[in-house]
């Protein structure tokens, strides 16, 4: 592994992000590094988990800004090893498929010229990190419908089916028609209760799956998890509620339970898929909590961001 040689910035490109789009950004990245006279190193991740190893290595060797070039999963990997790291900030050049979390930070899903300037101005803010069974997430964790969509799109760790957004839309429609809700027990409720889960999202951020605002009230640094729990829906109810989610107006539906908490514990009778920032996992028991202000991240002060700045 190459030493950072006192490089202030390290850019970690995930070459498979965005169906290969991320690696096409290297020439532009090199151009911007030269234009803004940035002391930087560019490296590639080679396999799942490698971005986390690279981030830890370069942080230990004195780098101050570790930037992912990829999607939400790339940022998740980098953040996972830098929690509570006071002397290092992370950031993201969006190059994934959904690019949901970047928009919470006031950036668009693709950088224009002015956004490179903002990136190198180094404006940072501490944001919260969620933990699910000890695994971190920056944007959110999902059970039910959206996790099943992720499972449909999954081949093996770090590899998804080809086709980008069109394939993803296909899996959304297929799951919308065929998904069968599973019974779950909310152990942290008083009293604990059971429900059939269509969607259960626990989040730091607001936006998921390329534009679905499942938790439209979420603030990324308020020390709280936002929970959106949608109970069993008929096919007609699914078709009726889905167009409301991109606008956040689904909260008016009587089958939607929305609240804020600092922890939640859930259990199923058997293993089910769940996602953390879009990355697929499996479990039957879920212990979710929050680490307030646990990571420092670059944001766009003039953008439409979703956190408190004072």
Domains within the chain, CATH numbers bracketed: 9-122 (3.40.50.10330), 135-291 (2.60.200.40)
In the prediction, which pLDDT does 164 show?
Answer: 62
In the prediction, which pLDDT does 126 show?
Answer: 97
Distances (CA, A) of 209 to 129, 137, 276: 19, 15, 12
Partners of residue 193 on adjacent β-strands: 186
* Contact predicate 233/223, CB 8 Å: no
**Distance from C-alpha of 214 to C-alpha of 205, rounded to nearest angstrom:** 9
Nearest Cα neighbor of 1 from 62, 56, 76 is 56
> Quick one: 234 exposed, middle or buried, by C-beta within 10 A (0-12, 13-18, 19+)?
exposed
In the prediction, which pLDDT does 1 show?
Answer: 61
DSSP 245: G
In the prediction, which pLDDT does 24 show?
Answer: 96
**Distance from C-alpha of 72 to C-alpha of 256, rounded to nearest angstrom:** 26
Nearest Cα neighbor of 206 from 190, 174, 228, 177 is 228
In the prediction, which pLDDT does 2 show?
Answer: 59
Distances (CA, A) of 168 to 22, 162, 297, 301, 310: 18, 9, 28, 32, 38
Tokens describing residue 68 = 């992912």
* Contact predicate 73/96, CB 8 Å: yes
- Taking 70 as the pLDDT cut, the residues of the chain under it are 1-5, 155-165
Q: What is the separation of C-alpha 160 from the centre of its chain, rounded to a whole number of angstroms?
A: 16
In the prediction, which pLDDT does 150 show?
Answer: 84
**Distance from C-alpha of 188 to C-alpha of 69, rounded to nearest angstrom:** 37
pLDDT digits (tens, 9 = 90+) for 205-252: 999 887 889 999 999 999 999 999 999 999 999 999 989 999 999 999
Q: What is the pTM of this model?
A: 0.92
């Amino acid at each position: 592994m190459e030493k950072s040689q006192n490089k202030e910035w390290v850019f970690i490109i995930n070459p498979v992000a965005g169906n290969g789009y991320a690696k096409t950004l290297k020439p532009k990245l090199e151009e911007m590094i030269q234009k803004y006279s940035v002391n930087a190193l560019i490296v590639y991740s080679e396999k799942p988990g490698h971005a986390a190893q690279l981030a830890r290595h370069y942080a230990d060797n004195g780098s101050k800004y570790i930037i992912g070039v990829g999607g939400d999963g790339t940022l998740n990997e980098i953040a996972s090893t830098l929690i509570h790291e006071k002397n290092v900030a992370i950031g993201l050049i969006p190059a994934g498929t959904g690019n949901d979390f970047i928009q919470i930070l006031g950036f668009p899903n693709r950088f224009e010229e002015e956004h490179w300037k903002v990136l190198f101005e180094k404006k940072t803010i501490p944001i919260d990190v969620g933990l699910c069974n000890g695994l971190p997430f920056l944007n959110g964790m999902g059970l039910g419908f959206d996790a099943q969509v992720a499972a449909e799109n999954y081949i093996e760790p770090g590899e998804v089916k080809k086709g980008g957004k069109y394939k993803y839309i296909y899996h959304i429609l297929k799951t919308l028609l065929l998904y069968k809700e599973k019974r779950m027990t909310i152990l942290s409720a008083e009293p604990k209760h059971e429900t059939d889960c269509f969607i259960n999202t626990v989040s730091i951020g607001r936006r998921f799956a390329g534009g679905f605002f499942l938790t439209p009230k979420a603030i990324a640094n308020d020390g709280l998890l936002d929970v959106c729990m949608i109970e069993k829906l008929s096919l007609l109810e699914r078709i009726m509620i889905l167009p409301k989610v991109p606008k956040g107006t689904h909260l008016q539906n009587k089958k939607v339970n929305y609240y804020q908490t600092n922890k939640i514990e859930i259990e199923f009778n058997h293993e089910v898929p769940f996602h953390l920032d879009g990355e697929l996992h499996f479990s039957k028991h879920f212990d979710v909590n929050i680490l307030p202000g646990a990571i420092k991240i670059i944001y766009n002060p003039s953008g439409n961001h979703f956190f408190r700045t004072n």
